[in-house]
Each structure stands twice: as structure tokens, then as C-alpha cells.
A and B are shown apart, each in its own frame.
Chain A
């Protein structure tokens, strides 16, 4: 594979401190005589003038002095703005041209504009995160979600661009925390969006079970949900199961141990890398998320090595607790809706032009199984709309529908439509939806059906 051609610059990017770009650049340039002492001093004078002007603006021209901490903060903010502009240039050679030919004030103003654009872009990522957030009971996750908008209210691009005014507790899977301000927030939001997207590929009930198996007080813990899911999914792939299976038990871990216990670190890194590739392929993951998963695989391999060496697989994988007795679900339906109300509701649903409106009415007005079955048979939904309907029902609701059709286990379902002799459109559509869908999803539903007992 041919490596891309990279232009050789006088100062290489890796020699510069990304968090103190301008200052480290001056140091390197001075060391290589690319900038003279006079040019450096001239820049220092410009910096002092810029600082004076910013202090005047900060105090609204009402004070000629400020506390040293405030002055330091303002200058750090100025440097953040200058860094933003310089880092955004093509290469370090261009940096030199700009520094020789442009005033610091102009560079700072351009940097400030860049920061403001970054804030706008980050607001879009915030909206994406709010739209694809996980519905889980983890306090750190929920509190962080609630706190994220604060950043955009309190972030001061002009005087405190280097601050990150938001209470961010939820830990990401990969987060070096080596940046500040809008740079950090942009990165955090983007990663959180993709982590959420990955987690949303798995059934909610599976995630809930995984968290409960992890710790009974998982709500209170500072844990990264993405990592828990990823590691168990990789475990499933290693023992040649679907990546969507998050349930690993002691036997499964024993299997992994037997497979890998005597292998060296290089081999384990290969195994984890291949398992990651397999998972990525199975779940159709591309782009940022693909790279994100791959970036963490080395660290997972090291943890796997430690777990194998100590024969403590539970320190890496979340094991299901098979000692828990099977819970039975005793279901007693509530009183069905009054006939007049039902007729009114069914007419209202039928009159909706958009499926989303139909579903909103259904979710907000239907509370009993009997009413749900009646609505399904009241010609309120047609054709492809059924798929949309089944998608918004959770696993319990789907299980209830199947149970009402006397499906009690996998064999009943597998006998097929010919045997089941379901005639109603919703029944046929439900069968197709489940038969063509994810097998793991169907397995979960059947597992629920087996626990249900109608009273």
C-alpha cells in the first residue's frame, strides 16, 4: 500500500504542543533562526497591546487594572484564539508566513471567528446527541446530558475560550481529556453521539440486563456503557456467536479461556482486532465509529491478557447471573376502554394522514392488551404501516401479542404461517416482521413469552 505523500516542513507538527501551539511554534522558530529576536519582541509588544485592549473590553473601559488571575485568563483566551487559527492552517510553513506577514490582532480575530463557527457546529452535535441519547438509568449519564446545554449558555468565546463551563461526569470510552474549551466539547459530543449510536444497535432489554448483571447499583456508578457493550459483544464474536448477543455466562468465559489462555500478547491483539473487524462487519459500522472501535482494541487486548493470566474473566466480561431464579410474569389485563371512547379513538387514528400521528395516539391512549388487539383489528393501520407500528412496541408488548395468539415457544413460531393459519392482516404482518428481522431479537421475545402467565 502506497503511503500518502506528506509535504516536508521546516518545523514538524509533532514537535509542537497542540495546547500551546503559538508559544511552542515561537520557541521552535527562534531555535531554528526562522524568526529574529526583533520579530519575537515585536510580537510580544503586539501581545501586550492586544491584552490591554481585551482588558479594557472586559472591564467595559471602567477599570485600568484587573486581578492577575483575570489577566492570565484573558491572555490564555487570546492564545487559545491564536492557536485555533494557526492550527487550522495547512501546515507549519504557512504558519511562518502568516506570523511574519499578519498582525497578532488580525490572527486573533480570525481565530475568534473560527471558535464561534466551532461553537455553532458543536450545537448541531448536541442536538444529535439529544436525539439519539440512551434511555438508561445511569445518573452520571443523565446528569451529563442535562448539563451539556449549559456549556453553550456559559461559554465565553472572547475572554474565557479556554474554559469548559459544563459539569461533564459521564466518562467516554476514549477520552484523553488533553484539550479544553470548545475543542474538548466538540470532541466529547461527537464521540458521545457515535457511542450512543453503537449502543442503540442493541435491544434495550439486553442493555438493561447487562447493566443489572454488571452491578446492582449500576445507576450510581461512573461507567461507560459503550465499553461494557463492546467488550461483551466482542466476547460473543470470539466464541463465534452473533455480536448482538451480550449475554455471556461462566461456560462462555470458560470457552474463551480454553481458546486463549496459552496465547501471547501479539496473538491476543490479533484476535481482538479480528473480532472487532467481525463485529464491525456484522453491525454494518463504518466511518468514525469503525475507527473508534479499532482504536480501543489494543487496550482491550491488554485487559484480556490480564484476565486470562489471572483466570479472572469476570474482570473483563460482564457475566450473567444464572443463579437468579427465572422470574415469571403474571399478567392481568386492565379494564378495557369504554366502547364509545374506543370508536372515537379508532376513527381519530384512521383519519390521521401520517403514521407518526397514528402511533402517537396509540402510545398515549392504549393501555390494555385487549384494546391493542381491538385497534389492530379495527382497520386503523394498513400495509407498511404495521412495520412502523411493531418497531415502536417494546419486546414485552410484542411478546404479549404473540402470547395472545397462543405462541408459547420457538417451535410454535417456527411451524410457519401455513400451520399457524393466521388470517388477519396484522397477524401476517407481525409474522413477517419477526421472521425477517433479527434472530437474536426474536430469541429475546420468545424468552419473555415463556415467562408470561395470563391471569
Chain B
């Protein structure tokens, strides 16, 4: 597996990623969210682990900046759990890129994650991971044209709960 990629230096360009995350502070601080350099390094380290465990490769700064900007206005994120939530969102993002067979672009997946997180999941990462995104990517894998139509499944789920 490593044969062809092993001789390439610094595939993931940590410096670019860290710089991009720090730049995002200018935008996120208006929502009371800031990352320190230590936070950025930690997130990059987690990103590296998650990419390896998901069997993916990312070159350059990646999608971290987009993720940060997309989620910074969420009512369910505050400074105290900012870094932890970003790390979990990273893991969810790369996992579901695989589950969607790369049919969803980065922007589409991030937008869906944000939509579900803020609304259907009411800030629950567990629900985001195990319910909405599972159904979404299942729809994609089964070739459903209206793959964003999660309503029916949600009703069925709520019906089971009521029982």
C-alpha cells in the first residue's frame, strides 16, 4: 500500500493546514470561537489519524477551513467544546466520504452535516453519525435519486420510538 506514496514528503502539508485554521479565527471570533496554535496542531494530528484509519489521502490544507467556517455559527457549539466537536466532525466527515462512495463533494457533505446537526439532530453528534448521515449515504449507495429525502425514514424511526 505504501509503495507508491511512501517516497512523497509531507503529503498533508501540516503548515498550510495550521495557517488556514488560524486565519479562520478572524471570522469565527465574531461567534465567540477561537483556536490556538496548540488546538490547530492537535486537530491536524487527529486529522492524520482519521485519514489513515479511513484509508484516505489528503493533500494540501484540505477541508478544515471549510468545516470551521460552516459550523462556526451553530447554536450548539461554544468555546469550551469547540476543539472536541471539530475533531469529531472531522472523523464523521471522512467516514461518510467513504460511505457515500465519494459521490458527495466536500461542500455538499459539509452542508448536509451542518443542516442535520443544527436542525434534525439538535446538536447531537451521535444522532448525526448514526441516523441522518447513515440514511443519506445508504440512499446514495442504493442509487436513490432523491437521496436527500430522509423524511420517510425519520417518520418510521419516530414511530418505533413512540411504540
Genuine A/B complex: yes
What sequence of 0s and 1s flags, for each residue 40-58 of chain B, a beta carbon within 8 Å of any chain A beta carbon?
A: 0000000000010001111
Known: A72-B1, A79-B4. A65 touches B9 (CB 8 A): no
For chain A, what secondary structure do more than half of its interface residues adopt (helix, strand, loop), or is it mixed?
helix
- Tell me the minimal C-beta distance from A144 to chain B in angstroms: 31
- B8/A64 in contact, CB under 8 A: no
Chain A residues positioned under 8 Å from B58 (CB to CB):
64-65
Say whether A66 faces chain B, with CB atoms less than 8 Å apart: yes
- Closest-by-CB residue of A relative to B7 is A44
What sequence of 0s and 1s flags, for each residue 1-14 of chain B, a beta carbon within 8 Å of any chain A beta carbon?
A: 10111011111000
- B106/A47 in contact, CB under 8 A: no
Known: A48-B10, A51-B59. A65 touches B5 (CB 8 A): no
- Closest-by-CB residue of B relative to A62 is B105
Contact of B106 among A51, A62, A76 (CB under 8 A): A62
- B62/A71 in contact, CB under 8 A: no
Say whether A75 faces chain B, with CB atoms less than 8 Å apart: yes
- Closest-by-CB residue of B relative to A26 is B7
- Tell me the minimal C-beta distance from A19 to chain B in angstroms: 13
- Tell me the minimal C-beta distance from A57 to chain B in angstroms: 12
Say whether B131 faces chain A, with CB atoms less than 8 Å apart: no
For chain B, what secondary structure do more than half of its interface residues adopt (helix, strand, loop), or is it mixed?
loop
- B5/A63 in contact, CB under 8 A: no
Count, A-B residue pairs, CB within 8 A: 68
Say whether B94 faces chain A, with CB atoms less than 8 Å apart: yes
Chain A residues positioned under 8 Å from B3 (CB to CB):
72
- A76/B4 in contact, CB under 8 A: yes
- Closest-by-CB residue of B relative to A49 is B59
Say whether A68 faces chain B, with CB atoms less than 8 Å apart: yes
- B97/A65 in contact, CB under 8 A: yes
A72 to B4, CA, bound (A): 6
Say whether A67 faces chain B, with CB atoms less than 8 Å apart: yes
- Tell me the minimal C-beta distance from A186 to chain B in angstroms: 24
Chain B residues positioned under 8 Å from A44 (CB to CB):
7-9
Known: A51-B8, A63-B97, A75-B4. A68 touches B56 (CB 8 A): yes
Known: A41-B9, A44-B9. A65 touches B4 (CB 8 A): no
Contact of B62 among A41, A64, A72 (CB under 8 A): A64
Chain A residues positioned under 8 Å from B94 (CB to CB):
65
Chain A residues positioned under 8 Å from B102 (CB to CB):
59, 63, 66-67
Contact of B63 among A65, A69, A72 (CB under 8 A): A65
A44 to B55, CA, bound (A): 22
Known: A52-B59, A63-B102, A63-B106. A68 touches B7 (CB 8 A): no
- B56/A67 in contact, CB under 8 A: yes
Chain B residues positioned under 8 Å from A47 (CB to CB):
7-8
Chain A residues positioned under 8 Å from B8 (CB to CB):
44, 47-48, 51, 75
Chain B residues positioned under 8 Å from A59 (CB to CB):
102, 105
- Residue with the greatest number of chain B CB neighbours at <10 A, chosen from A44, A62, A63, A75: A63
A340 to B51, CA, bound (A): 82
- Closest-by-CB residue of A relative to B106 is A63
Residues of A within 8 A of B (CB): 41, 44-45, 47-48, 51-52, 55, 59, 62-69, 71-72, 75-76, 79
Q: A48-B10, A55-B57, A67-B56 are in contact. List 13 more A-B contacts (CB 8 A).
A: A47-B7, A48-B9, A48-B59, A59-B102, A62-B106, A63-B97, A63-B105, A65-B97, A66-B57, A68-B1, A72-B4, A75-B8, A76-B4
